[in-house]
Amino acid sequence: MVAGNISEWARRIRELRTEEGYLILTHNDRADLKPGQYLLETAKPQPAFAREISKETRAFVLDRNGFTCQMCGAVAGEAHPYDPSRKTRLHIGHVVDKSMGGSDDPSNLKAICSVCNEGASNITPTRPDLQKLLVQIRRATVSDQRAVLTWLQAKFKA
């Protein structure tokens, strides 16, 4: 690769990712990749990440969903809980798939991370049961409980 072509290369990678739906990972996604290294995870373009959805709608949906994957709870920019080598990257997904007649209206959109979007997460989309959740939190260390409290306070701006 010629040095002068690096920015053009980066732009082409972005196009492949965002416009053509190819899942190309960079050093932002995986700690074992160096800047300038790319990994094409699958040669098959991903089903539409709702690429035609406006920036405003994306921002609205991400904000409404608290920048949190609605399937596994991973938070944008943090290490993914089920694949800590990857930073959580959120996409906009459809609640009812477009192929099933779902619309691009914000009410039919949700934040979903790349891991869940690839079907790599083993987490079921059902929400955790409150009783089990409380049991888990009561069993956690005090410092983890404090981390939960800090997170909840930030979420609810208490």
Residues that bind Zn ion (CB under 5 A): 69, 71-72, 74, 113, 116
Displacement of CA 38 from its chain's centroid (Å): 19
CB of 130 to Zn ion, least distance (A): 21
96/127 Cα distance (integer angstroms): 18
Q: Which is nearer to Zn ion, 17 or 74 (CB)?
A: 74
Nearer to Zn ion, 17 or 111 (CB): 111
Q: How far apart are CA 142 and CA 10, in angstroms?
A: 44
Q: Looking at beta carbons only, is 10 or 123 nearer to Zn ion?
A: 123
Query: Rounded to the nearest whole angstrom, what is the least distance from the CB of residue 65 to Zn ion in the complex?
Result: 11
Q: How far is the CB of 67 from Zn ion (least distance, A)?
A: 12
For Zn ion, the closer CB: 22 or 67: 67
Q: Supply the minimum distance, in Å, between the C-beta of residue 101 and Zn ion.
A: 24
| 21 within 8 A of 40, measured Cβ to Cβ | no
Q: What is the dihedral sign for C-alpha 133, 79, 144, 148? A: negative
Rounded-to-integer distance, Cα 48 and Cα 105, Å: 15
